[in-house]
Amino acid sequence: MKTVILCGGKGTRIAEETITKPKPMIEIGGRPILWHIMSHYSAHECSEFILALGYKSEYIKDYFQRLSLLNSDFSIDLLTGKTQLLSESPKNWKVSLIDTGLESMTGGRLRRLRPYLEKEAYFGLTYGDGLSDINIQDLIQFHKKHGKMVTVSGVRPPARFGEMTLNGNTVTRFAEKPQASVGWINGGFMICSSKIFDYLEDDSTILEKSPLERIADEGQLMAYQHEGFWQCMDTLRDKLLLEQLWDSGKAPWRVST
């Protein structure tokens, strides 16, 4: 399964870090949070990624350009500049890095990736700032079994996020960031049919508003209920919490590397 990770936002709520780097490159335990997300997917046999870039895209491109060299033995001919890896990269990832616009919204970024995904029966989609111990293979099987257009992962974090109302596993109402929130919210870690592209109008489309609201109204939005760990990194406080979990050796999302 190909997995899209939205990496283009400006991350203004954690400006202490994002003034110099894009939000997905903020480090937890000496590695970008993006690396942690991709490692989790890879541990569940999903190793092909499409990164939807925007703000400071060159930072992410440079990181992946150098990642294999920095984690492998290699030789270099200084006269020609030719480089040869002498050992295998520790990661078997295939990564496509696509600029999706500096000001594009979440739905607009996804829309720009249509040429890379419209022939796929389904694909993964998540945000570049959230960590979880969710079982990706179970999520995929859940999506394939119900046969609807979109699966979101329902989680139970604080009340400042968008709320979903569920009838069993069917999403009957989707409201992005209401004034007061209880119950389940969209934690990302989504599976989408390529039919979702018909609901994305332009760069200004916010995925979590009209597209998912319409899909829910049509009975085509399902929720995989995840009772385990989930934490986004919206603020410096969130980053410090994730750092503490990692440093303790008990980070729930940690996989062998």
Which pLDDT does position 236 carry in this prediction? 93
The DSSP 8-state label assigned to residue 93 in this structure reads -
Whole-prediction pTM value? Answer: 0.87
As a whole number of angstroms, the distance between CA 15 and CA 3 comes to: 27
pLDDT tens figures, 62-76 = 999 888 777 778 888
Which pLDDT does position 82 carry in this prediction? 85
As a whole number of angstroms, the distance between CA 66 and CA 78 comes to: 17
Which amino acid, residue 190? Answer: M
Q: Provide the CA 96 distance to its chain's centre, in angstroms.
A: 14
User: What does the angle CA 198 – CA 162 – CA 226 come to, to the nearest 5 degrees?
Assistant: 90
As a whole number of angstroms, the distance between CA 246 and CA 73 comes to: 27
β-partners of residue 85 are: 74
Sign of CA dihedral 131, 132, 133, 136: negative
For residue 203, which phi and psi values (nearest 5 degrees)? -60, -25
As a whole number of angstroms, the distance between CA 53 and CA 112 comes to: 11
> Do the Cβ atoms of 179 and 209 come closer than 8 Å?
no
| pLDDT class of 160 with cuts at 50, 70, 90 | low
Domains of the chain, residue spans:
2-247
DSSP reduced 3-state for 166: strand
As a whole number of angstroms, the distance between CA 152 and CA 188 comes to: 6
Which pLDDT does position 180 carry in this prediction? 44
CATH number of 2-247: 3.90.550.10
| pLDDT class of 80 with cuts at 50, 70, 90 | confident
